[in-house]
Amino acid sequence: MPKHHPFTMVEILLALGVCAIGICSVMVLFPIGANASRDASLETYSANAADQLLHYLKYQITDSQANWDTYIAQIPDAKPADPETLVPEAPADWTALPTDLGSNIFKHSTAGIYQIINDRNSTPAVANTATIDSRMLVYLWRDQVTISSVDIPYDVDIPYDTAVRLLLEATWPAELLYNARQKSVFVLEVFKPAFN
């Protein structure tokens, strides 16, 4: 009858070492995957929020001639400057937009700056940081619409009488300085309807 030899202590230690190296190699990939998943979800959320805000503004602008004149005048001609001075957590500086946008978009006292909050609660508050998943700052400005490198003709006194290009830059996370945030730029051209 053949004699069975048990594993020696050296063989067991070598096997455990190989297993430990394999497990550690796999464990290193989990934070990388979690970060990539978080970044992808925030990028998707920023695109959805930007689309929601741009189309809300388009709806407001094209509702009537009075709204066209009022809302276009409130949008700055250039990207709002000095974003590092904003304090996203200061509730006095932010005003909630109408609840039909989901109660998560807030307008800053500076024209063209918005804050979008991704919150686990159904009714987020600007100052409630305990349940906020992410907070992004959005910069909105306008430009003249150009087709085939030719500006759409307009009256010099009323440059946005025919069409306006809305440019929106979403930056996140808002807690970081502007240069350290991720950024996406979105564009929507709005043409003036024939108002009655």
> Does 65 score more than 70 pLDDT?
yes
Q: What is the pLDDT of residue 22?
A: 92
Strand segments (E) across the chain: 94-96, 105-108, 113-119, 132-143, 146-147, 150-151, 163-172, 182-191
Q: What is the pLDDT of residue 16?
A: 93
> 190 or 118, which is more confident?
190
Task: Grade residue 86 by pLDDT with cuts at 50, 70 and 90.
Answer: low
Q: What is the pLDDT of residue 120?
A: 65
State the Cα–Cα distance between residues 141 and 17, nearest whole angstrom: 59
Q: Could you report the per-residue pLDDT of 126-147, keeping only the tens digit for each? A: 445 566 777 888 899 988 887 7
Q: What is the pLDDT of residue 157?
A: 53
> 1 or 102, which is more confident?
1
| Max intra-chain CA distance, the chain | 106
- Indicate whether this model's pTM tops 0.75: no
Closest CA to 57 of 90, 101, 23: 101
Cβ–Cβ < 8 Å for 138, 170: yes
Cα dihedral 71, 52, 188, 75 sign: positive
Q: Could you report the per-residue pLDDT of 90-99, keeping only the tens digit for each? A: 666 777 776 5
Q: Could you report the per-residue pLDDT of 115-125, keeping only the tens digit for each? A: 888 776 655 44
How remote is the C-alpha of 126 from its chain's centroid? 16
Mean pLDDT of the chain: 79
Q: Which amino acid is at 63?
A: D
Average pLDDT, integer, range 53-57? 87
> Does 20 score more than 90 pLDDT?
yes
Domain ranges of the chain: 27-191
State the Cα–Cα distance between residues 175 and 184, nearest whole angstrom: 17
Q: Is the peptide bond before 173 cis (omega within 30 degrees of 0)?
A: yes
Q: What is the pLDDT of residue 104?
A: 76
State the Cα–Cα distance between residues 101 and 107, nearest whole angstrom: 12
Closest CA to 140 of 117, 118, 165, 103: 165
**What are the φ and ψ backbone dihedral angles of 136, each rounded to 5 degrees?**
-125, 150
> 16 or 159, which is more confident?
16
Task: Grade residue 17 by pLDDT with cuts at 50, 70 and 90.
Answer: very high
**What are the φ and ψ backbone dihedral angles of 161, each rounded to 5 degrees?**
-80, -20
